[in-house]
């Protein structure tokens, strides 16, 4: 086995363990979420993640390797922080608790996006197009999930800001409830979201993303 193939197998085994951990964590996030859309997003991603586990096993089989996993300490740490977020959310108002859940979930997505992007690149380099195709499909799901979480978070953030402005705990930058400062930062981030992630969300969830100026 070449060193690049060994590296790819190692990355896939790491991702397999990460995904299995996520399968165990998502039901807790569904239960902790208050917003119906957020609950629905977590439930949908649980189903997707179960499919991603099977895809990783297929990829390893295509490489002639057993579908074994190796401990993924990175995901373990992220999910432990997520557990803390759920516990802290019990003492927060619903908007703040849901926004914290979204932040925790996006940390998971960003880890996965990085991992699948690297693995797909390696698969292409060693001429394993079938493996690369499987990884591309999962990468698209993760990017779409991340984008959807951002869309769900927008109105929650606006509501939370309006509440803080209304009770005097926050000074608005402009009119009450105006969240232009945070919206601009979000828009800058979304400008880099791959088009396929936007298309997946629009097609599956009817979320209509606004076009931003370059």
The better pLDDT of the pair 198, 82 is held by 82
Domain ranges of the chain: 3-147
Query: CB-based burial of residue 33 (10 Å sphere; 0-12 exposed, 13-18 middle, 19+ buried)?
Result: buried
Q: Does pLDDT of 174 surpass 50?
A: no
What's the CA gap between 25 and 1, in Å, rounded? 34
Over range 55-74, report the average pLDDT. Answer: 96
Tell whether domain 3-147 is in CATH 1.10.510.10: no
Helices (H) and strands (E) in the chain, counts: 7, 0
pTM: 0.78
Q: Which of 143, 123, 145 is nearest to 58 (CA)?
A: 123
Count of residues in the chain: 214
Over range 119-148, report the average pLDDT. Answer: 97
pLDDT in tens, 31-43: 999 999 999 999 9
What's the CA gap between 106 and 144, in Å, rounded? 11
């Amino acid at each position: 086995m070449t060193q690049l193939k060994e590296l790819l197998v190692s990355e896939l085994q790491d991702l397999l363990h990460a995904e299995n951990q996520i399968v165990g964590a998502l039901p807790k996030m569904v239960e902790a979420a208050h917003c119906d859309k957020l609950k629905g997003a977590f439930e949908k991603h649980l189903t997707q993640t179960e499919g991603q586990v099977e895809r990783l096993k297929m990829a390893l089989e295509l490489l002639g390797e057993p579908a074994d996993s190796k401990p993924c300490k990175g995901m373990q740490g992220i999910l432990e922080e997520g557990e803390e977020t759920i516990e802290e959310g019990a003492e927060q108002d619903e908007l703040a608790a849901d926004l914290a859940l979204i932040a925790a979930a996006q940390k998971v997505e960003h880890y996965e996006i990085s991992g699948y992007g690297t693995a797909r690149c390696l698969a292409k380099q060693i001429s394993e197009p079938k493996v690369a195709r499987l990884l591309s499909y999962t990468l698209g799901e993760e990017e779409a999930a991340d984008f959807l979480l951002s869309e769900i978070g927008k109105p929650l953030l606006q509501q939370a800001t309006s509440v803080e402005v209304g009770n005097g705990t926050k000074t608005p930058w402009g009119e009450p409830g105006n969240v232009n400062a945070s919206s601009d930062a979000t828009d800058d981030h979304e400008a880099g979201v791959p088009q396929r992630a936007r298309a997946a969300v629009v097609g599956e969830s009817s979320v209509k993303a606004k076009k931003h100026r370059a």
